Amino acid sequence: MKQPYKILLLLILITTGVVSAQEVVVYKKDFEVNKEGNVTVNLFTDDVLIENSIDDKVHVIYSVSFTKYSKRQIQNYVETIKVTTEKEGGNLIITSRGKNLKYRFFEFVTMTNRALNLRSKDTINIRKTKDSIVNEIHACYKPYLRSIKTKPNKAKYKYEKSKGAKPKFLIKVPEGVILKVNGSGSQINFSKIENQTELKIKRGGVILDRITNSKSRFHIKDGYFYAEEIEGAQFYFNDVYKALIGSIKNATIENDFSKVEIAELKENVKINDYNGVFWFYNLNNNASFNLDSDYSKLNIYGKNENNNLINAFKSKVKDDSNPAANFTLEDPNINLKVANGLIYYHN
* pLDDT tens per residue, range 124-167: 568 888 999 999 988 866 543 333 333 444 454 454 456 889 99
Query: Beta 242-248 vs 259-273: how paired, if at all?
Result: parallel
Q: What is the pLDDT of residues 302-311, one digit of tens each?
A: 765 655 666 6
pTM of the model: 0.81
Geometric angle at alpha carbon 69, from 81 and 8, rounded to 5°: 100
Q: What gap in Å lies between CA 37 and CA 88, rounded to an integer?
A: 10
Closest CA to 182 of 85, 98, 81, 96: 96
At 274, the pLDDT band (50, 70, 90 cuts) reads very high
pLDDT of residue 19: 63
Over 80: is that where the pLDDT of 116 sits?
no
Over 50: is that where the pLDDT of 193 sits?
yes
At 314, the pLDDT band (50, 70, 90 cuts) reads low
Over 50: is that where the pLDDT of 231 sits?
yes
Over 80: is that where the pLDDT of 312 sits?
no
CB 204 within 8 A of CB 64: no
